[in-house]
Structure 1
Amino acid sequence: MATDVRTRPVHPVDEVLPAPKLAIYGFQHVLAFYAGAVIVPILLANAIGLNTQQLIHLINADLLTCGIASIIQSVGFWKVGVRLPLLQGVTFTAVSPMIAIGLAAGGGTDGLLVIYGAVIVAGLATFFAAPYFSKLIRFFPPVVTGSVITIIGIALLPVAAGDAVGGAGDSADPSSGKNMAYALGTLFLIVLIQRVFKGFMATVAVLIGLVSGTAIAWLLGDAKFDAIATSDWLGVTTPFYFGWPKFSFAAIVSMLVVMLITAVETTGDVFATGEIVKKRVGREDVARALRADGLSTTIGGVLNSFPYTCFAENVGLVRLTRVKSRWVVASAGVFMIVLGLIPKAGALVAGIPYPVLGGAALAMFATVAVVGFQTLSRVDFHDHRNVVIVATAVGLAIYVTVQPGVAQAVPDWAEILFGSGITLGSLTAIVLNFVFHHIGKDIGPAVAGEPGNLIRLDQVNQMEREEFVATFGGLFQGPDWVVERAYDQRPFRDTGDLRHAFQEALFAADPAEQNELIAAYPDLGGRQVQEGASGPDSAQEQSVHGLTYLPEEEQLEVDRLTDAYRARFDMPLITCVRDVQDVKALVAQGYERLDNAPVQERQTALIEIAKIAGHRFDVLVADANPIHTARAR
């Protein structure tokens, strides 16, 4: 007898794609990542006075370690590596502190050795502190993670824009039409491929855009590959190439602060990637990701590189291509190891013109922000505390990102905070969430009342039944049984939970009770509404499209409709007026509903009642939150 062997389906994250696809998708990640990967050693070398040969070695070491770190994070072993499609790169947060450490130690290789000592210690500290940091996950609700992810995407966009105008420094030329043509042409090609093609072609749109843009630039003489001829075929970095590391207490403390901030960024990237690939992220996942960061950073200090973190740039690529396999990132890691060992290969990739890279980066980085928007959509913004948290965090992040010179206005110890919009915005979101939601009594958002006499969620949870019915009875016409049964579902976690309680009570009732409720509602555009007999809420709702003062001809048309509806279904025509465009659309929709079966139309009436109650609930909450009301207006 044959046995029914059932196997668990493989999650897209764990799917091993065919070798050709792994190679192509992986190389696409490398191209998208390359400029960001090498910028840190370039900035550091120039700042502390290293020569060209030392810079080339730093770049090779950086790429080699990036590859090793990406494989550790994506493939994982023991309790190390989150096993998501997350690519590792040197954190930008460390640039300013490392320059400060290097210059304080005299610059050159002497300064480099002190940097490496701090990097090794900070990496080990991160590795061992990872499980303790992960226990703080309750301080990272959607209002924090959504803010951080949004900030990461927005803060990276100026980097993309800088590449699009020719790169940083003297090479930047915003007035160049050629730079704009390369950047927008690459972006347009990526969008066009995404629109026209499906499947494999759509997933490699970024790669095609980069290769096509570079080819056109080369034909026009704007892509230079001279460095290939002068680069060596083989360049192997050795541990402690520049000498044995030196350990400075002040440098170590500075680097520990960097790694703490990096842990916050990594946590945001892990949550962002979890959102994209539809995989739940928990405490142990965060711990595994941070252990990988710590181990990779320690390896970086040994192999002449720097602190590592999950690269947000490539999170956007995962979102854009929808290729979720972590083995693609592992293949990208192999490519980077090869690039780190073969300087000629690295020089080839380095030939991509900045404007072409910038055009692709605009699409990728913006998609990171979109993931943040999706996360923030789960936040209860009726709770004005959440509005303050997100607005302040994003505002400060933009302030520092657009005006980087403000970092010079603060003491030296604070430059690390004000030197990065991602750092300042992320920490702001975390601190404000702690202050608003974890210090003092959590009285909850205002859900009813008016300024000076607000009714907050904790007060709702403590109400007697009669008071609860008096507060929320106006959400429904006629009988109070919906509100009374919603009361039985206390305590409510947030305004969304309270709203759902009314909906569940409405649809769970028996048919006789539902019929009683339906009969309590007035006809669409009925005379009793115009005369105020149905209450101020009905009058206000139906006045949206002028149903309370219709011209005689239109009033007769509405009356004919409602009479025909009542004759067919023996109940009033109930429509949520706010959700329909105008009177003409209301009448047309009403006549269409005459063709429904009675059972279907009864359910439609209940849905319309739920919509009306939802709008009335929004009015209650808005009246209790004047800033929310002003924003809505």
Structure 2
Amino acid sequence: MATTAALPERPARRAKHPVDEVLPAGKLAVYGFQHVLAFYAGAVVVPILLASAIGLSERELIHLINADLFTCGIASIVQSIGFWKVGVRLPLLQGVTFTAVSPMIAIALAAGGGTQGLLVIYGAVIVAGIFTFLMAPYFSRLIRFFPPVVTGSVILIIGIALLPVAAGDATGGAGPTSDPTNPKYLAYALGTLALIVAIQRIFRGFLATVAVLVGLVVGTLVAWLLGDASFSGVADSSWVGLTTPFYFGWPKFSVAAIISMIVVMLITAVETTGDVFATGEIVEKRIKRDDIARALRADGLATTIGGVFNSFPYTCFAENVGLVRLTRVKSRYVVATAGAIMIVLGLIPKAGALVAGIPHPVLGGAALAMFATVAVVGIQTLSRVDFHDHRNVVIVSTAIGLAVFVTVQPDVAKAVPSWAQIIFGSGITLGSIVAIGLNLLFHHVGRSRGAAVAGVPGRSLVGLNDVNQMSREEFVETFGGLFQGPRWVVERAYDERPYADTRELRRAFQDALLVASKDEQRELFAAYPELGSDAVASGEAGAGSFGDQSALGLTRLDDEAHGELAALADAYEERFGFPLIISVRDRSSFEQILEHGRHRLDNSPTQEHALALIEIANIAGHRFDDLVADANPIYTARTRGLADA
């Protein structure tokens, strides 16, 4: 019988990451256009604000808008497709940074305003772009100063700071058109939002991913039918509008203006870093130092091109990060397609005028959904942060608090010197700088005592390094209250020192509990008091048991409830030979405790032994959290204030 030689195995084809997937042309066009619609209002607002402030004519404003869209398209393609070491190759759309608005207005007015002021702006923009390109690899080395506590805070702040922008659009837009009391505006905004949510709930696949596009189109059509959307600007616009380099004249270079714009780009680099990390979280791609460098090089190149083609400094647009999260379409080629569409819009003013006809309330309704998803990404990132370390609580709370402060009270920027207004004028900028600065202060400056893991009455805070240096007696005294009765669990956990973080300390207690002999474990079971017993209510069973059981009022039961719980406890102990142990804080009601206990009466002794260990571990976990909370100075101050009230 003949045998056939086995064919050599083909090497498995390496699956493409969703970011690198090239979608069919039709989907690329639809998804790309959706990005453009979501992006358009934010893209053109900077030229509008600048032109109004420095006294440009309507014709000059139209050219600025066309130049902005044209350059946005080029910048987005560079960032998403990339070449050499330029472009992060993620679905990141590029737009003019809002951080530059105030400095650019100041630069232009100092030069006399009008087109003469523009020329000084463009000189500063070109130099700042070159500076950003060259400093990108050096800035990227700071990535170690962007742990999840920083990136999560920055991403959350970006989402929170963008929501007022969406709310402003939902009430009619900025300026005289704003009217929060207008019921039509509210109907358009909420109707668009409701339609987006309904599409994502009812449909799957392609329709779910274009929910924002459908919401914008349907909302605009309804507004047009009711006479609240106008496209008169389409007829007034020309078909072709070429963007030529140095349209307003050769740039002028001022040292003061250049320094001011370099500061803008340094701040923008922080925002770009946050956007890159946010997008990495969404598309599930690890961000490395080289990625940050490539993203910043793209920012620098785009900014330089902007100065040449009559536009302004560029950065990653957080608005579209939210759209990527909402649609779950991760392909970077979608953003590249959006860039190509923007180039076309920049060359065809009529097309841009058509997109500009989307009513503000409709755009605001869609933006509410998109911007909130950015905040959710920040929350997801922060979920990886160890908040048992009070330093992280201080970093996040302070950064978010200050960011929200200047976001809802933008006039506070006028209370600081002009050089500081660039920082206090943006919640994203201030919050990002505070998060980075506090992370440096708490985690990188000076000798650290480690995470504060215990606050013992009558003693100062106990840091992780202190725990690692404790004697056995000190360790048992500090943590003995986590368990009832015998101290062998804590003593064995002591032998596992040193601990790298509070999670390791927790695991040491859990491991010591679970690997003990059955006789030792049953000895521990017997030390736990009955649920609702008089010994717990009077405090005789210890502060730990009182804190556990008072969470659901087991220390103040009426006679009927007390008798019902006592009967259950007696039946349980008669069957298994040890007290009924339940982590009360993991239940939501007294009735749930009774139901849980009655259900456990049907278990085997072996299963109940294992469940009792788990319940003890959970109780110890809650007591550990109490100990950590006492080590948090903010938490302690608040609870003390409530106790004194």
Query: When the two structures are superposed, what TM-score results if normalisation uses the length of structure 2?
Result: 0.92
The Cα shift of 1:600 comes to 3.6
2:491 alignment partner in structure 1: 484
Counterpart residue identity of residue 167, structure 1 = G
Counterpart residue identity of residue 575, structure 1 = I
Aligned residue among 27, 36, 40 for 1:34? 40
Deviation per CA, 1:221-251: give whole Å up to 9, x if none. Answer: 1111111122222222122222222211111
Counterpart residue identity of residue 408, structure 1 = K
Query: Relative to 1, partners in 2 of residues 1:440 and 1:300: Cα closer, same or farther, differing over 3 Å?
Result: same
Range 179-188 or range 559-568, more displaced: 559-568
Task: Please state whether the residue corresponding to 1:234 is helix, strand or coil.
Answer: coil
Aligned residue among 277, 292, 300 for 1:271? 277
**Is 1:590 aligned to residue 589 of structure 2?**
no
1:402 alignment partner in structure 2: 408
Aligned residue among 233, 255, 270 for 1:227? 233
Mapped to 1, the partners of 2:37 and 2:502 lie a distance apart of 45
The Cα shift of 1:68 comes to 1.4
2:462 alignment partner in structure 1: 455
Task: Please state whether the residue corresponding to 1:232 is helix, strand or coil.
Answer: coil
Counterpart residue identity of residue 55, structure 2 = G
Task: Please state whether the residue corresponding to 1:156 is helix, strand or coil.
Answer: helix
1:298 alignment partner in structure 2: 304
Query: When the two structures are superposed, what TM-score results if normalisation uses the length of structure 1?
Result: 0.94
Aligned residue among 542, 545, 548 for 1:541? 548
Q: Is the 8 A contact 1:118 1:252 kept in 2?
A: yes
Counterpart residue identity of residue 248, structure 1 = S
Counterpart residue identity of residue 355, structure 2 = V
2:339 alignment partner in structure 1: 333
**Is 1:204 aligned to residue 204 of structure 2?**
no
Deviation per CA, 1:565-588: give whole Å up to 9, x if none. Answer: 345444432110122233322121
Counterpart residue identity of residue 577, structure 1 = V
Mapped to 2, the partners of 1:58 and 1:68 lie a distance apart of 15
Q: Aligned pairs, how many?
A: 633
2:70 alignment partner in structure 1: 64
1:572 alignment partner in structure 2: 579
Q: Is the 8 A contact 2:390 2:631 kept in 1?
A: no
The Cα shift of 1:439 comes to 2.1
Q: Is the 8 A contact 1:66 1:337 kept in 2?
A: yes
Query: Relative to 1, partners in 2 of residues 1:76 and 1:186: Cα closer, same or farther, differing over 3 Å?
Result: same
Mapped to 2, the partners of 1:277 and 1:564 lie a distance apart of 54
Counterpart residue identity of residue 576, structure 1 = S
**Is 1:19 aligned to residue 25 of structure 2?**
yes
2:509 alignment partner in structure 1: 502
Range 307-316 or range 446-455, more displaced: 446-455
Task: Please state whether the residue corresponding to 1:69 is helix, strand or coil.
Answer: helix
1:45 alignment partner in structure 2: 51
The Cα shift of 1:528 comes to 6.1
Q: Is the 8 A contact 2:96 2:313 kept in 1?
A: yes
Q: Is the 8 A contact 1:382 1:628 kept in 2?
A: no
Q: Is the 8 A contact 1:450 1:624 kept in 2?
A: no
The Cα shift of 1:598 comes to 4.1
Matches within 5 A, 1:115-514: 115-446=121-452, 447-450=454-457, 453-509=460-516, 513-514=520-521
Deviation per CA, 1:88-131: give whole Å up to 9, x if none. Answer: 11000011111111121222222212111111111111111111
Task: Please state whether the residue corresponding to 1:450 is helix, strand or coil.
Answer: coil
1:615 alignment partner in structure 2: 622
Counterpart residue identity of residue 381, structure 1 = F
Query: Relative to 1, partners in 2 of residues 1:182 and 1:549: Cα closer, same or farther, differing over 3 Å?
Result: closer
Range 485-494 or range 257-266, more displaced: 485-494
Mapped to 1, the partners of 2:492 and 2:70 lie a distance apart of 63
Range 29-38 or range 582-591, more displaced: 582-591
Matches within 5 A, 1:555-570: 555-570=562-577
The Cα shift of 1:508 comes to 4.8
Q: Is the 8 A contact 2:67 2:309 kept in 1?
A: yes
Identity %: 73
The Cα shift of 1:60 comes to 1.3
Query: Relative to 1, partners in 2 of residues 1:544 and 1:253: Cα closer, same or farther, differing over 3 Å?
Result: closer
Mapped to 1, the partners of 2:169 and 2:103 lie a distance apart of 24
Counterpart residue identity of residue 264, structure 1 = V
The Cα shift of 1:385 comes to 3.2
Mapped to 2, the partners of 1:585 and 1:449 lie a distance apart of 33
Q: Is the 8 A contact 2:125 2:307 kept in 1?
A: yes
The Cα shift of 1:263 comes to 0.5
Mapped to 2, the partners of 1:317 and 1:356 lie a distance apart of 16
Task: Please state whether the residue corresponding to 2:456 is helix, strand or coil.
Answer: strand
Deviation per CA, 1:255-274: give whole Å up to 9, x if none. Answer: 00000000010111111112
1:75 alignment partner in structure 2: 81
Task: Please state whether the residue corresponding to 1:455 is helix, strand or coil.
Answer: strand
The answer for unaligned runs of 5 or more in structure 2 is 1-5
Mapped to 1, the partners of 2:164 and 2:561 lie a distance apart of 55
